[in-house]
Amino acid sequence: MMLATIVPTSTWYLILGAILFGIGMVGVLVRRNPLIMFMSIELMLNAVNLTFVALSTKLTDINGQTAVFFVLVVAAAEVVVGLGIIVSIMRRRSEISVDDLSALKG
């Protein structure tokens, strides 16, 4: 069978990472809900992680996977701080939209 002999190469993973990054970027640009914007940022981070792992496997270099490990840690810290900021802003406002947050004044 013809299909069984096709093996996905690292180029396929890189292209999938590029598409995922594009979707995340459009999400950040289009959506107004700060929570959804955060999720889109997570999508972009995951796209970069996928690219790192694909190249790490392709080039037989483990340092790419180490970079992904650090990206995971930083992403966790970033989400914690960001959600803390969103919660403390939303205590004062009921509507959740980044258009209302154009001024830093509470």
Partner 1 sequence: MELVVFICAAAMVLAGALGVVLRSNPVHAALSLVLTLFGIAVMFVSQHAEFLAAVQVVVYAGAIVVLFLFVIMLLGVDRAENLETEPLGIQRPLAIILGLGFVALLITAILKGRDALNMRGDGINVASDGDHDANIRQIARSIFTNYVVAFEVTSVLLIVAVVGTVVLARKRKSDKDLIGVAP
Q: What minimum distance in Å lies between the beta carbon of 103 and partner 1?
A: 16
Q: What minimum distance in Å lies between the beta carbon of 3 and partner 1?
A: 6
Q: What minimum distance in Å lies between the beta carbon of 39 and partner 1?
A: 5
Which of 85, 101 has the CB closer to partner 1? Answer: 85
Instruction: Record the tokens describing residue 19, joined without a space.
Output: 């598409």
Which of 19, 101 has the CB closer to partner 1? Answer: 19
Q: Which residue has the tokens 């209302």?
A: 100
Instruction: Record the tokens describing residue 6, joined without a space.
Output: 């096709």
5-14 burial, b at 16+ Cβ within 10 Å, e below that, comes to eeeeeeeebe
Alpha helices in the chain (DSSP H): 2-5, 10-30, 34-58, 63-90
